[in-house]
Amino acid sequence: MTVKRLFAIMFIFLCTLGAWMILGGVTSVRTQENGTLLKKAVVSLYGDNLVIKQPTLIYLEKKQKQSKKPNGEIFIEEFETEHSIFPKKSKVSIDLQLDPRKKGVLWFPTFKAKYDARYEFDISEYKDKDIFLISELSSSESIYKNVHLKINDKKIDDISFLIKNEKKKIDNQKDIVVFNTTYDTTGLEKFSYLMSPGYSGIAQIDSLDLTINTDFHNIDFIEKTLSATDKKKTDKGFILSWKLDQAITGKDIGIVIPGKLNPGDIIPRTVFAAPISLLFYFMIIIVLSVVKKEKIHPVNYFFLACAFFSFHLMYSYFSDHINIYLSFVIASVVSIILVSSYLRLFVSKKIAYLYSPLAQIIYLIVFSYSFFYKGYSGLIITIISVCSLFFLMQLTGKINWQKVFEK
């Protein structure tokens, strides 16, 4: 091994690094462009983030104020102010069921929701006012089925006020108004339940009993929302409960819907980290060539680098058409065959069929597979790196490097 050869290998490594950066950039752009277009198509079928807004009652109060015209004349101006009446008691049940849809080459976390709720309003202090109900459907893209409404156990057949987001005048003869609503709908990516829609950032909650049943275990709450007060695991998912009494909060309730693994989420990160794999592999091969007294030309390193690059090339484009795990296996097997069948032509069989495949499994396959585990790839790479450092230090501790580079 000479310094000249070492610099030639470094040059090959840098060229391969550039190729990986281009592939990673192309893969990222391709995923973003396809994702934007395909998401629009999914939204048109399933709707966007599902938002359910807690219904409220309002009453209008007439007021007067003095105003002055430009000529100085004073007149009385009448106007109305809107006041909200929040539910005295709320019992809400929501079932969320995963129903992922594949559009093009991407999976989207679509879901079905069943909403069943009962709200009680105390209007005993406002019986001399005209009282209106505000309850609206959040998305024009979503499909709402089996919509049933009742006010004081009287079925409401005309539900146009939900669609038009209009106020519906209600009978204020009773002290308590009970509003029942139920429907089935769909959504994408996120579910939110808003307790103070359109009024203020703070809501008064006298009594809330809200339960969400999921058929998935991967639960994550939307940022700045209330976490569940109780959480029970079932065979299929979770039963999440929010029970609040005499509470005041500016937070709502929200859940992130888990999605299937998409190639576009992990392949770019795998490609951008690929140079680390090749760097460690080259180090192992260089050290083995010194220890075993094998002569490996820089051109040989060029073809080894190409075999490593072929793994990510196949992995990236095969995943567009077949299962991501299957594409990973195919790319891994082909890459190992390419390297081993090439090395056997100019190095010992032990390096070609034992040391090299083992190094590929550790530095290429395990490195790349670690990205399937979100949040753990850095830890896995760190552990492998430290173990590799220990192995190389022990293997090369007695080598006289001065003599090696004098050759």
Q: Would you state the pLDDT for residue 1?
A: 62
Q: Would you state the pLDDT for residue 201?
A: 65
State whether 226 and 364 are in the same domain: no
State whether 175 and 319 are in the same domain: no
Domain boundary residue, one of 224, 256, 288: 256
Is residue 316 situated within a structural domain? yes
Residues 6+ apart with CB under 8 A from 82: 58, 59, 60
Domain boundary residue, one of 218, 237, 256: 256
State whether 210 and 319 are in the same domain: no
Q: Would you state the pLDDT for residue 163?
A: 67
Is residue 42 situated within a structural domain? no
Is residue 176 situated within a structural domain? yes
State whether 239 and 270 are in the same domain: no
Which structural domain range is residue 240 located in?
Answer: 48-256
State whether 214 and 354 are in the same domain: no
pLDDT by position in tens, the chain (length 407): 677 888 899 999 999 999 999 998 888 887 777 777 888 888 888 888 898 888 888 887 777 777 777 777 777 777 777 788 888 899 999 999 999 888 766 789 999 999 999 999 988 888 778 888 877 776 666 788 898 888 888 888 877 777 666 778 887 778 888 999 999 999 999 999 988 655 456 777 888 999 999 999 988 899 888 889 899 999 989 999 999 888 888 788 999 999 887 787 788 889 998 999 999 999 999 888 888 888 889 999 999 999 999 999 999 888 878 888 999 999 999 999 999 999 999 999 999 999 999 999 999 999 999 888 877 888 888 898 898 888 888 888 878 777 777 66
State whether 103 and 119 are in the same domain: yes
Domain boundary residue, one of 219, 239, 256: 256
State whether 11 and 59 are in the same domain: no
Q: Would you state the pLDDT for residue 184?
A: 93
State whether 81 and 149 are in the same domain: yes
State whether 245 and 144 are in the same domain: yes
Is residue 162 situated within a structural domain? yes
Q: Would you state the pLDDT for residue 63?
A: 74
State whether 148 and 195 are in the same domain: yes
Is residue 68 situated within a structural domain? yes
Q: Would you state the pLDDT for residue 198?
A: 55
What is the token pair recorded at 45? 């079928």
Q: Would you state the pLDDT for residue 182?
A: 93
Do the beta carbons of residue 133 and residue 168 sit within 8 Å? Answer: yes
Q: Has this prediction a pTM greater than 0.75? A: no
Domain count, the chain: 2
State whether 289 and 248 are in the same domain: no
State whether 166 and 270 are in the same domain: no
Question: How many Å apart are CA 375 and CA 144, to the nearest integer?
Answer: 37
